[in-house]
Structure 1
């Protein structure tokens, strides 16, 4: 066991599944569709899985912003490709350059996180055009409703080769996270499983609880933790609304 906490993505089961989908797309015959879709609730570790795969296969990866336009999308893709663009170039000019840049090496997929926003903004067809013209694999990442949204865009939906629904963390994943992020603390298995359940299997919340428990252990000199020692779980639920009128102010009237 290393004594240094993890500094990047951890290889959980979702990471392995994301990698399998990526390899399938890279190695597919060119007559097959070139899109893959990873979908699931927030906190399941989709983005972390994509960053792990990005490092392994040298993929290009962008995360769509709320205010992006078509030109913004294309500029970010070209930046990932190492291309320099001029502000005066039109969306058509940028698209042609992006097709050439992506097509220069089709073993490097384009990963698009927050792809829901492109569907909502009617911009997803830009990616269809880039994928079709360049042949590069394109992986879309989004929330659980992404597949349903893509159903409304037939020319994208029928070009999806593989659908990957991200899964909640199981106990084995939780053990890996504990070892990776709090290597100096030994967690009881029952505590880890309770952390998993109270975190709804969401990797982000599991890591938050593991970090919180680790801080508790460091402050009090504990090398091992179980439910009898620590149970101050973070669940993500907001605080209960307070009764602000419980202690009404006294009104002092002028004489």
Structure 2
């Protein structure tokens, strides 16, 4: 499998950074991509980070402010130093001098750790393009941080998976067969907007098609075979 499926959210992520990079000096430089889990935000961010030569960090629930800055410096190839102010200064200086964007994935975790002002300090000290990625409620969570909220240039809602996305995904995850639109429509209906669920089902369909000798998978030959929905099966009590 070569490359990555060119989904709508990958394009949205790329365009968000491009708009921020092309902004005038008077406009803020942070952008936010938000949406439900499973819509491919992290995959898109990782791909765009390579395309745009962006620094990329994915926050974890256990991260402290210090570990967050250490992760950024490691991504930059810079040895970490002892104090938070020093790390902040060095990271901001590198962002300013390199003119490379910073992508912060799982921004919700940093809000939970009261690190929002630290991200704002990074932006204020560097004026770098910073892309924030988080869950559906990320904009609401950031509203209470007025000084931060006002520095976001663009709020970009991630799109739920559609037929065009499903076709792109099918070419990657079921490359040896043709997946008909009627079956893709059925996958979308079961996916509840999640690219991840589409991918799981496409891999299942590909395996079944190869074992059955199909060249085309459609609703007729898929019949009543089960599809992955993400829900645990209900226990049957005797």
Whether these two folds match at TM > 0.5 is yes
**Cα drift, residue 30 of structure 1:** 2.2
Q: How does 1:53-64 map to 2 (within 5 A)?
A: 53-64=48-59
**Cα drift, residue 241 of structure 1:** 2.8
1:171 maps onto 2:185 in alignment: no
Cα distance in 2 between the residues matched to 1:172 and 1:73: 37
Aligned position for 2:176: 184
Match 1:91 to one of 84, 89, 99? 84
Q: How does 1:212-227 map to 2 (within 5 A)?
A: 212-227=204-219
Cα distance in 1 between the residues matched to 2:108 and 2:115: 10
CA contact (8 A) 1:39 1:143 kept: yes
CA contact (8 A) 2:29 2:127 kept: yes
Aligned position for 2:76: 81
**Cα drift, residue 200 of structure 1:** 1.5
1:79-117 CA distance string (max 9 Å, x none): 11111124xx111111111111111122x2100000011
Cα distance in 1 between the residues matched to 2:226 and 2:215: 17
Larger Cα-atom Rg:
1
Aligned position for 2:235: 241
Report the 3-state secondary structure (helix = DSSP H, G, I; strand = E; otherwise coil) of the residue aligned with 2:221: coil
TM-score (norm 2): 0.95
Structure 2: gaps spanning 5 or more residues: none
Aligned position for 1:122: 114
Report the 3-state secondary structure (helix = DSSP H, G, I; strand = E; otherwise coil) of the residue aligned with 1:238: coil
Report the 3-state secondary structure (helix = DSSP H, G, I; strand = E; otherwise coil) of the residue aligned with 1:228: helix
Cα distance in 2 between the residues matched to 1:203 and 1:48: 10
**Larger fraction in helix:** 2
Aligned position for 1:228: 220
**Cα drift, residue 232 of structure 1:** 2.2
1:102 maps onto 2:95 in alignment: yes
Match 1:43 to one of 15, 38, 41? 38
Match 2:23 to one of 15, 20, 28? 28
Cα-Cα RMSD: 1.2
**Cα drift, residue 201 of structure 1:** 2.4
Report the 3-state secondary structure (helix = DSSP H, G, I; strand = E; otherwise coil) of the residue aligned with 1:38: strand
Aligned position for 2:61: 66
1:141 maps onto 2:126 in alignment: no
Which portions of structure 1, spanning 4 or more consecutive aligned residues, are displaced by more than 4 angstroms?
A: none
Cα distance in 2 between the residues matched to 1:29 and 1:132: 16
CA contact (8 A) 1:37 1:160 kept: yes
Report the 3-state secondary structure (helix = DSSP H, G, I; strand = E; otherwise coil) of the residue aligned with 1:78: helix
Cα distance in 2 between the residues matched to 1:208 and 1:150: 33
Report the 3-state secondary structure (helix = DSSP H, G, I; strand = E; otherwise coil) of the residue aligned with 1:104: helix
Report the 3-state secondary structure (helix = DSSP H, G, I; strand = E; otherwise coil) of the residue aligned with 1:141: strand
CA contact (8 A) 1:10 1:52 kept: no
Cα distance in 2 between the residues matched to 1:104 and 1:10: 33
CA contact (8 A) 1:78 1:101 kept: no
Structure 1: gaps spanning 5 or more residues: 247-255
